[in-house]
Amino acid sequence: MSVSDTPAQAEQRNHVIVFDTTMRDGEQSPGASMSLEEKLELAKILEEMRVDVIEAGFPIASNGDFEAVRQISEIVTESTVCGLARAGMADIDRCAEAVKRAKRGRIHTFISTSPVHMKWKLQMEPDEVLEMVTKSVAHARNLCGDVEWSAEDATRTERDFLLRCVEAAIKAGASTINLPDTVGYSYPSEYAEIFRDVIENVPGADKVIFSTHCHNDLGLAVANSLAGVQGGARQIECAVNGIGERAGNAALEEIVMALKVRGDKLPYDTVVETQHITRVSRYVSAITGFPVQFNKAIVGKNAFAHESGIHQDGMLKNAETYEIMKPEDVGQIESNLVMGKHSGRHAFREKLKALGYELGQNALNEAFQRFKDLADKKKHVFDDDIVALVDDALASGADRIQVRNLRVIAGTEGPQEAFITVTVEGEEKSGNATGDGPVDAVFNAIQTVFPHDAILRLFQVHAVTEGTDAQAQVSVRLEEDGRIATGQAADTDTLTASAKAYVNALNNLMARKEKSAPTARVASGF
C-alpha cells in the first residue's frame, strides 16, 4: 500500500502497517536515551526505509520528548508521525501541539484496562476507566484526525470489559485500536484469539485497524505479533533491534523479514525497504550504546556466518542449503573494496555508500581523516572498523569537551596514573590522577579537568574485529539527577577509547540537561 491508504484500504490489500516505536518505547529501555539530533537522523532513516508510522516520543514526558516529536513532525512527510499521551487532557493537548505540523500526524492515547493496573496503578473503578476512554479519545479526535487508542495490559484484561472499552474507543473516533501485551505474558494462540474475539464481537470493528504491541519478557514478542496478524491485526508495533521496556519490544527487522520470507504462511506484506535494515540497526546500536548480540536474528554479526565445514561445503555448492534469505536483502553488502592506507577519498566514499552511510562534506572529511589515522596503525581496515569510526565521528563531532592528549602509566607496579589534556569549549585544561587500574585513573583524571557529579553506570568494551590491533569500541553510561546519557568511542588504544567514550557521555549528559525538564520520564498513572 502507499502510506496514504486509509485504514480500510490497507486492510483490503492485506498490508501490515509497520509502526516503529524505537524512539518512544525503545527509549524507555534503561540507559537508551537518544539526543534530539540522533532522533532526527533516525526519523530520516525510518522514513527512507518506508516505515509507515514513527512514534517519535511522549511529548508530556519532557521538553526533549516534546521537541523531538515537534521537529520530526516538521521534517517527515511520507510516514505518519505519532506522539504518545496518557488519557489526561493535558497529555493529549501537549501531544496535539507536538504533532500539529505533521503532514500525517497521530495522537496515540492509552489507559490501563486490566484489574491489577486499574486497582493499583490508576486506583480507578472500571466504570471510571470506561468513561475516560470515551473522553480521552473524543478529546484527541477533536484535535487530530488520526487517533490510536491502546488498552494497556490488554492481555490481562477481563474480556467483557476489553470489548466494552474497545467499543467506546471506536465510537469516540479512534481509527486504530492497539491491544498491547504490556507485560509480555501472552501466548501466540491466546493473543490471536483475543483479536478474533474483539474483531468479531465489537460493533464497528470492521472500520478500524487493529494493532499488536508485544513485549519480549518470555521471548515471544515476535511470535505473538505474527499471531496477532493471524487473528486479524494489520498494524504491528515494533522497535529496531527489539529495544524497549525490560526485555524489549518485538524487533522490527524480525517482523519485517518473517513476513517477507514466509509470505506462503502469512500472506501479508509490508512496504519496508529491507536493504536499510542493517544500517538502521547499526545506527540504533551506536546511538543507544546497546550492542547487538552476535547471534541476533537478521542483524547479528553471525546472522549470515557459516562456521562449520559441513555448512560451508553446502553453501559453496548452493547457498540455499543453509540460507533462507540473502545478506544483501537486509543490506549486508559484501563489498570487493579492500581498504588500506593507500585508499583514496573516492574509494572511501564508495565504501561508506556500500555500508549505508551518506555523509555531508564536513562529516566525510572528518571520517576520512580518522580512516587515514587508523590505516596508519592497522594493516587491514575491515568494514566493521569503518562502521565504528564513522559512528564515532558522528557521535563526537559537536562535543563541547574533546580529548586532546592522554598518557597512562599501567602495569604491575601501581598506582596506575593518567595524564590528560582536554579542551572545554576551546579552552585547554590538563590534569592527572591515580586510580584502581588504568581505566579508573583515566576517569579520575577527567574529573580533575572537568569536575562533575555524574555516576558511572556502565563501562563496556568490545573488540570491533579480530587480532591484537583491533579497535576497541567502548560504551559508557553516566547518570546524574535521574538523567542518563550514553557515550561511545572506538580506537586501537583501549584507554584512549575509554577516555573519549566517557567524555562523549559527559557531553551528551550536558546536552540532555539543557534540553530537558528534570524528569526524564513520567509514571504512566494519573
Sites of contact with ligand KIV (CB under 6 A): 25, 110, 150, 152, 178, 180, 182, 213, 215
Q: Are 370 and 380 in contact (CB under 8 A)?
A: no
Specify the amino acid at residue 333: I
- What is the nearest approach in angstroms of ligand KIV to the Cβ of residue 99? 16
> What residues form DSSP beta bridges with 328?
none
- What is the nearest approach in angstroms of Zn ion to the Cβ of residue 243? 11
- What is the nearest approach in angstroms of ligand KIV to the Cβ of residue 110? 4
Residue of 111, 110, 59 whose CA lies nearest to 81: 59
- What is the nearest approach in angstroms of Zn ion to the Cβ of residue 143? 23
Give the residue with the Cβ less far from ligand KIV, 181 or 366: 181
CA distance 483 to 519: 8
Residue 150 interacts with which of Zn ion, ligand KIV, none, CB < 5 to 8 Å by class = ligand KIV
- What is the nearest approach in angstroms of Zn ion to the Cβ of residue 24? 8
Q: List the interface residues with Zn ion, window 178-217 (CB under 5 A).
A: none
Give the residue with the Cβ less far from ligand KIV, 137 or 418: 137
Specify the amino acid at residue 508: N
Q: Are 291 and 297 in contact (CB under 8 A)?
A: no
In 10 A of CB 73, how many CB atoms? 24
Give the residue with the Cβ less far from ligand KIV, 215 or 234: 215
Q: Are 103 and 80 in contact (CB under 8 A)?
A: no
Alpha-carbon torsion angle 286, 393, 435, 455, nearest 10? -50
Residue 152 interacts with which of Zn ion, ligand KIV, none, CB < 5 to 8 Å by class = ligand KIV
For 415, phi then psi, to 5°, come to: -80, 150
- What is the nearest approach in angstroms of ligand KIV to the Cβ of residue 212? 10
In 10 A of CB 329, how many CB atoms? 16
Specify the amino acid at residue 172: A
Give the residue with the Cβ less far from ligand KIV, 182 or 508: 182
> What residues form DSSP beta bridges with 164?
none
Q: Where are the alpha helices (DSSP H) in 233-360?
A: 252-261, 277-288, 309-317, 345-354
| Residue 310, burial from CB neighbour count under 10 angstroms (0-12, 13-18, 19+) | exposed
CA distance 189 to 212: 14
CB-based closest residue to Zn ion: 25
Q: List the interface residues with Zn ion, window 15-34 (CB under 5 A).
A: 25
Give the residue with the Cβ less far from ligand KIV, 85 or 476: 85
Give the residue with the Cβ less far from Zn ion, 71 or 136: 136
* Residue in this structure with the C-alpha cell 532513516, named with its chain if needed: 45
Residue 241 interacts with which of Zn ion, ligand KIV, none, CB < 5 to 8 Å by class = none
Specify the amino acid at residue 372: K
**What are 285's three cell numbers?**
546500536
Q: Is 237 in the site for Zn ion (CB under 5 A)?
A: no
- What is the nearest approach in angstroms of Zn ion to the Cβ of residue 300? 23
Residue 83 interacts with which of Zn ion, ligand KIV, none, CB < 5 to 8 Å by class = none
Residue 274 interacts with which of Zn ion, ligand KIV, none, CB < 5 to 8 Å by class = none
Residue 58 interacts with which of ligand KIV, Zn ion, none, CB < 5 to 8 Å by class = none
Residue 416 interacts with which of Zn ion, ligand KIV, none, CB < 5 to 8 Å by class = none
* Residue in this structure with the C-alpha cell 581496515, named with its chain if needed: 381
**What are 129's three cell numbers?**
476507566
Give the residue with the Cβ less far from ligand KIV, 20 or 152: 152
Q: Are 423 and 396 in contact (CB under 8 A)?
A: no
- What is the nearest approach in angstroms of ligand KIV to the Cβ of residue 474? 31
Specify the amino acid at residue 129: V
- What is the nearest approach in angstroms of ligand KIV to the Cβ of residue 31? 18
Residue 20 interacts with which of ligand KIV, Zn ion, none, CB < 5 to 8 Å by class = none
| Residue 275, burial from CB neighbour count under 10 angstroms (0-12, 13-18, 19+) | middle
Give the residue with the Cβ less far from Zn ion, 25 or 167: 25
Residue 110 interacts with which of ligand KIV, Zn ion, none, CB < 5 to 8 Å by class = ligand KIV
> What residues form DSSP beta bridges with 421?
405, 430
CA distance 399 to 506: 9
Give the residue with the Cβ less far from ligand KIV, 25 or 65: 25
| Secondary structure (3-state) at 429 | strand
- What is the nearest approach in angstroms of ligand KIV to the Cβ of residue 148? 9
Give the residue with the Cβ less far from ligand KIV, 39 or 213: 213
Give the residue with the Cβ less far from ligand KIV, 246 or 377: 246
- What is the nearest approach in angstroms of ligand KIV to the Cβ of residue 20? 13
Which residues in this chain contact Zn ion in the complex, by CB under 5 A?
25
